[in-house]
Amino acid sequence: MNFIKDFFKFTAFTFKLIFKLFKLALVMTGVITVVRCSSGFTKKGDKVYYNGEEVGKDFIVLNDQFAKNDSAAYYKMKSIQDADILTFEALDNHYAKDKNKVYYCSEEREVKNFFMTKRQGVYTVEGADASTFMLMGENNFGYCKDKYRGYLNGKSFEVMDVASLELIDFVFIKDKYQVYCNRVALPGSDPATFNELAEYYFKDKNNVYTYRNASDLVILPCKSESFVVIEYPYSKDAEGVYHADKKITGADVTSFKKLENEYAKDKNAAYFKNLKIEGADVMSFVVDKGYENTTDESYFAKDKNFVYNRNLPLRDVDVISFMALEQGYTKDKFHVYYNQKVIKAADPVSFECFGLQVGGADSKDKNHKYLEGKRAEEE
C-alpha cells in the first residue's frame, strides 16, 4: 500500500512539475503573458476592481481594503451593516469610521480539516467616540485613541492622560504618567526616562524590560543604571550576566562573550543559554556549524574532549570528525546517529540526508534507505 501511495504522489508531483515548466516555456516564448491581479480595491479608468475582478463603476475606492457605493460600505467585499455611507471613511487597512461609529476590521484565519479558511471580521469598536477617534501615527501597530481612552486592535483600555498618549513601538505606548504594554499599565514604570536600548530591550530609571512578543514581557532582575545589551538574548549589568530574563549563575561579567546559536563563554566556563556546560574546556570550545545548513533546531558544540548537545556531553563520539546533518541526524567517522543514538550498520562515509521525506525515506547510505533513524522497509 505504501508503494502505491508513493507512486501516486510521485506521479502527481511529476505532472505538476511538467505543467509548470510548460507554462514557463510559453511565457518565455511570448505565447502567453503573465497577468498579476491587483490586491484589494483598485480603480482603472472608470472601472473598479477587487482582487482583479470588476465590481462596478459605482464603487468609491477609499483604500486597498475599504470602499463604498450608494448601497453600502465595504471591508473587502463584506458589507458593513448600518454604516452611514455619506460620512464613512477609511483610516487605515483595519480601522474605519462614520459620524456614529468606529469599526475595526480584520481577516481571521482558522484551520479546519487541515485547510486554512479565511473569514472577514467587522466589529464595532465599543464606546469609541467617532468624532475624536484617531490613529496614533501612520505606523500605529493597531494603536489608536479618542478623547476618552486608548485602543489596540479594536479593543479599548484605560489610560491616565489621553492628551499626552504617544506610541513608542509595537508593544509599548506611554502618557505623561504611565507606560502601557498590550493595553496593560506597567507598575512602577517611569515614562520620562523610558527608552529603547536595543531590539527587544527597554529601560527606565527603575527597571529593564525585555520581550519576544507583546504577550511575554518580563522585567529583568538587574541594575538598570549599569545594564547593557551584549547581543540578544544576552545582556549584563555590573553584577551579572543574563540570558533573556534569566541570570547565568557564576558568569564572569568582564570576559563574557556571546558565541553563535545560543552558546557563550567567559574565562571560566562555557554556556548554553543560561546553563553552564560542566567540564567544558573554554580555550578549545567552539560551536558546531551544522546549524547553518538546516531549518531544524540543531544545538551542538565541541571542545578538545567532547561533543556537546545543548549543555550535555555526548560520550563515545569522535570530536574531530563529528558533524551535524539534518532532521536529527549526526555522524562521525565511525557511526551515524539519529537523536544521539547509533544507527547500527549505517555507513558514515556514504550517508546523506534528503532534507525531506522522499519515497518513504529521509536519508540513505550505499546500502540502505532510512526513515527517522530506522531502516526503511524495502518495497
Q: How is residue 263 written as a grid cell?
A: 552558546
The distance from CA 109 to its chain's CA centroid, rounded to whole angstroms, is 16
Provide the whole-model pTM.
Answer: 0.73
Strand partners, 276: 271
pLDDT of residue 111: 52
Query: Are 74 and 90 in contact, with CB atoms under 8 Å apart?
Result: no
pLDDT of residue 229: 96
Longest C-alpha distance within the chain, in Å?
78
pLDDT of residue 110: 55
Q: How many C-beta neighbours within 10 Å does residue 313 have?
A: 16
Q: What is the edge-to-edge ordering of all strands in the sheet holding 115-124?
A: 89-90, 95-97, 102-112, 115-124
Residues near 93 by Cβ (< 8 Å), separated by ≥ 6?
Answer: 63, 64, 65, 66
Q: Which region holds residue 45: left if phi is over 0, alpha if psi is between -120 and 50, else beta?
A: left
Q: How is residue 226 written as a grid cell?
A: 549599569
Q: Over its length of 379 residues, how does the chain's per-residue pLDDT go in tens digits? A: 443 344 434 444 444 445 445 444 444 444 433 434 458 999 999 999 999 999 999 999 999 999 999 999 999 999 999 999 999 999 999 999 999 999 999 986 555 554 555 667 999 999 999 999 999 998 899 999 999 999 999 999 999 999 999 999 889 999 999 999 999 999 999 999 999 999 999 999 999 999 877 678 899 999 999 999 999 999 999 999 999 999 999 999 999 999 999 999 999 999 999 999 999 999 999 999 888 877 778 999 999 999 999 999 999 999 999 999 988 999 999 999 999 999 999 999 999 998 777 778 999 999 999 999 999 975 4
Helix or strand holding residue 319 (H, E)? none
- Closest to 343 measured CA to CA, from 357, 319, 361: 361
Strand partners, 75: 66, 78
CA angle 150, 154, 160 (to 5 degrees): 10
